[in-house]
Structure formats: structure tokens, C-alpha cells
């Protein structure tokens, strides 16, 4: 089974930065795409950023210019560099991946989430 292990969350003040990491392990054949989602209290879970196998990147409008997603295929990892954090960025952040666990079978996998709290 593929597992996604997240790290890097914490509590910071507005304007500071955090770097989230997500490393995939287990019965992993090939990662197709990796994404970061977040969910704040009382709000729907939303896509923050995503990167596919062709390095095409998507960002939510609210984080463009502040967040940067990157991928290290050799390490089966995805990162989210979050700069100039704002209180509205406060949420639980989740790593998500579409990956093949055999040469012909794929599935969607989720991390457990890591909390990011930004105070004003």
C-alpha cells in the first residue's frame, strides 16, 4: 500500500514562511500527480496546488505568487513552500497523489494532514 507522510506544519505569524513536505513510500510503481489540499474550519476542502508528471502546475488564486509547489521524483516527494503566510491560510493541509502501485493499477492516496496556523 502506498503511504504519504507529511511534515512541516506549525504555528507562525503573518508574513513568515513554512515548507511542507510529503514523501510517498510503500508499494509504489509510479507517481502520476501530486497535490496539496487544505481545509479550514467551516470551509470545503480546496485544491491549493498540484503538479503532474509533465511538471504542469496549478495554483489556487488565493496562493498565487506566495506558494510554490515542487516535486522530486527521485525521492518520491512533493513540497509546498509557503511564503508571506496570511491568517486566512490557516488550515489542515493534506497531501494527495495519483499513483500506480503496479505497472497497470493506480489509485488515489491521501496523507493524514498537517496543521498550519497563522496568527496576525
Looking at residue 44, what is its pLDDT? 96
Q: Which residues contact 63 (CB under 8 A, 6 or more apart)?
A: 48, 49, 82, 89
Kindly report the backbone phi and psi dihedral angles of residue 37, in degrees, each rounded to the nearest multiple of 5, phi listed first. -115, 165
Q: Which residues contact 23 (CB under 8 A, 6 or more apart)?
A: 4, 5, 75, 76, 77
Question: Under a CB-based contact definition with an 8 Å cutoff, are residues 33 and 97 in contact?
Answer: yes
Express each pLDDT in 14-67 by its tens digit: 999 999 999 999 888 888 999 999 999 999 999 999 998 888 999 999 999 999
Cell of 25: 513510500
Looking at residue 73, what is its pLDDT? 86
Which residues pair with residue 46 across a beta bridge? 38
Express each pLDDT in 57-115 by its tens digit: 999 999 999 999 999 988 999 999 999 999 999 999 999 999 999 999 999 999 999 99
Looking at residue 27, what is its pLDDT? 85
Amino acid at each position: 500500500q502506498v503511504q504519504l507522510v507529511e511534515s512541516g506544519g506549525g504555528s507562525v505569524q503573518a508574513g513568515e514562511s513554512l515548507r511542507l513536505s510529503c514523501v510517498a513510500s510503500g508499494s509504489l510503481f509510479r507517481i502520476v500527480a501530486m497535490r496539496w489540499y487544505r481545509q479550514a474550519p467551516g470551509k470545503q476542502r480546496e485544491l491549493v496546488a498540484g503538479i503532474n508528471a509533465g511538471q504542469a502546475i496549478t495554483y489556487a488564486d488565493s496562493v498565487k505568487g506566495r506558494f510554490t509547489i515542487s516535486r522530486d521524483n527521485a525521492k518520491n516527494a512533493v513540497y509546498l513552500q509557503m511564503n508571506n503566510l496570511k491568517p486566512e491560510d490557516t488550515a489542515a493541509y493534506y497531501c494527495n497523489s495519483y499513483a500506480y502501485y503496479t505497472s497497470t493499477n493506480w489509485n488515489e492516496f491521501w496523507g493524514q494532514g498537517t496543521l498550519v496556523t497563522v496568527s496576525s
